[in-house]
Amino acid sequence: MLTKQTTGQAWKQIKGSITDVKGFTTAGAHCGLKRKRLDIGAIFCDVPANAAGVFTLNQIQAAPLKVTKESLAHSNGKLQAVLVNSGNANACTGASGLVDAYEMRALAAAKFAVPEEMVAVTSTGVIGEKMPMEKVRSGIEDLVLSKESTPFAEAILTTDTGTKEVCVEVVIDQKTVRIAGVAKGSGMIHPNMATMLGFITTDANIETAALKRALAKATDETFNRITVDGDTSTNDMVLVLASGLADNQPLDETHPDWANFYGALSACAESLAKKIAKDGEGATKLIEVQVAGAVSDEEAGKVAKAIVGSDLVKTAAYGKDGNWGRIICAIGYSGCTLDPDTIDIAIGPYETLVQSEPVVVDDAAISKYMEAETIVIKADLHQGQGVGKAWGCDLTYDYVRINAGYRT
Annotated binding residues for substrate, as ranges? Answer: 158, 184, 195, 281, 403, 408
Strands 40-55 and 78-88, how do they pair? antiparallel
CA–CA distance, 157 with 139 (Å, rounded to integer): 16
- Which one among 99, 106, 216, 312 touches its own copies, defined by CB under 8 A? 312
Three-state DSSP class for residue 393 = strand
The amino acid present at 193, given as its one-letter code, is M
61 binds its own copies (CB under 8 A): yes
Residue type, 231: D
Q: Which of 195, 202, 219, 232 is catalytic?
A: 195
Interaction of residue 362 with its own copies, rule CB under 8 A: no
342 is catalytic: no
Q: How far is the CB of 158 from its own copies (least distance, A)?
A: 13
Candidate segments 14-22, 86-94, 200-208, 213-221, binder of its own copies by CB under 8 A: 86-94
Question: Which of 332, 350, 365, 384 is in the footprint of its own copies by CB under 8 A?
Answer: 332
Please state, in angstroms and as integers, the Cα–Cα distance from residue 24 to each residue in 119, 238, 244, 290, following that order. 14, 17, 11, 36
User: 209 vs 372, which CB is nearer to its own copies?
Assistant: 372
Assess contact for 116 and 106: CB atoms under 8 A.
yes
Strand ranges across the sheet with 357-358? 226-227, 386-393, 286-294, 374-380, 344-347, 350-354, 357-358
Query: Judged by CB under 8 A, which of 7, 59, 174, 254 binds its own copies?
Result: 59
Q: How far apart are CA 346 and CA 2, in angstroms?
A: 20
The yes or no reply on residue 295 touching its own copies (CB under 8 A) is no
Q: Find the part of the chain contacting its own copies (CB under 8 A) among 164-172, 199-207, 256-264, 355-363.
A: 355-363
Which of 31, 89, 119, 241 forms a contact with its own copies (CB under 8 A)?
Answer: 89
Is 270:198 a contact under the CB 8 Å cutoff? no
Residues near its own copies (CB under 8 A) are 57-61, 89, 91-95, 126-130, 187-188, 229-234, 309-312, 315-316, 318-319, 321, 323-326, 328-333, 338, 340, 352-353, 356-358, 395-397, 399-401, 403-408
